[in-house]
A and B are shown apart, each in its own frame.
Chain A
Amino acid sequence: DAGVTQSPTHLIKTRGQQVTLRCSPKSGHDTVSWYQQALGQGPQFIFQYYEEEERQRGNFPDRFSGHQFPNYSSELNVNALLLGDSALYLCASSLWGGGTGELFFGEGSRLTVL
């Protein structure tokens, strides 16, 4: 049973560039959430996708956008990168309408902005 997979695992960008991160949810899950974990901090909610629509959004600027595909996989896009965007980006999957909020996380994509 495949868990949550994310790619790439590591990447380095420069300020002003754009980045796309990818996530495949756990088998059987249909909902994907994205979290940003800055160094030394707990993860912070960016947004959630279900049925190819953004359902919830945290306190992040419009530079952060996403997409969900018919196969439930998802992308996180960040435009006009800032140094402060350097973080571990975590994807979490779940089943919409089911369960009690337990999320399954991928190993993350570590973004470094120079």
Chain B
Amino acid sequence: AQSVAQPEDQVNVAEGNPLTVKCTYSVSGNPYLFWYVQYPNRGLQFLLKYITGDNLVKGSYGFEAEFNKSQTSFHLKKPSALVSDSALYFCAVRDSLHRDKLVFGAGTILRVKS
């Protein structure tokens, strides 16, 4: 079965510093990987996805993610964090058998302090 793990419940970073939110995955076959962000009392917003191709994927709001097949990781990164980036981030993998069924990690809270 497909699964993702987000090993950190919370990540703290100072404004202007680079940030990384970690995600590892377990899939059978080629992985379809996603990052979503959730602000308080809001739905999920799509940030970026990896399907195939370049291992560095660029997404919304200056975020990017690095796909590493050998380490089965898909870490979310941003070169310079903003206070407004503070939110809950979810990594997800598409189910191998069922289109549109995403399997989500437990989420990582990102806190950016000024």
Residues of chain A whose beta carbon lies under 8 Å from any beta carbon of chain B: 4, 6, 31, 33, 40-45, 48, 56, 58, 90, 92, 94, 100-108, 110
Tell whether, in the assembled complex, residue B100 and residue A31 are in contact, meaning their CB atoms are under 8 Å apart: yes
Tell whether, in the assembled complex, residue A101 and residue B106 are in contact, meaning their CB atoms are under 8 Å apart: no
Number of B residues near A (Cβ < 8 Å) is 25
Asked if B51 lies at the interface with its beta carbon under 8 angstroms from chain A, I say yes
Choose among B34, B41, B42, B43 the residue that contacts A101 (Cβ–Cβ < 8 A): B34
Q: Mark B31-59, 1 if CB is under 8 A from A, else 0.
A: 01010100001111110010100000000
**Cβ contacts under 8 Å, A40 to chain B:** 106-107
Q: Given the known A-B contacts A100-B49, A106-B43, are A42 and B107 also in contact in the complex, defined by CB atoms under 8 Å?
A: yes
Bound form: Cα–Cα A43–B91 in Å: 11
Tell whether, in the assembled complex, residue A102 and residue B46 are in contact, meaning their CB atoms are under 8 Å apart: yes
Tell whether, in the assembled complex, residue A101 and residue B107 are in contact, meaning their CB atoms are under 8 Å apart: no
CB within 8 Å: A-B pair count = 67
Tell whether, in the assembled complex, residue A42 and residue B94 are in contact, meaning their CB atoms are under 8 Å apart: no
Q: Given the known A-B contacts A41-B106, A100-B32, A101-B49, are A94 and B100 also in contact in the complex, defined by CB atoms under 8 Å?
A: yes
Closest to A6 in B: B43
Closest to B42 in A: A107
Q: Output the least CB separation between B31 and chain A (Å).
A: 11
Bound form: Cα–Cα A72–B43 in Å: 20
Tell whether, in the assembled complex, residue B100 and residue A103 are in contact, meaning their CB atoms are under 8 Å apart: yes
Bound form: Cα–Cα A60–B86 in Å: 32
**Cβ contacts under 8 Å, B42 to chain A:** 107-108
**Cβ contacts under 8 Å, B44 to chain A:** 43, 90, 92, 103, 105
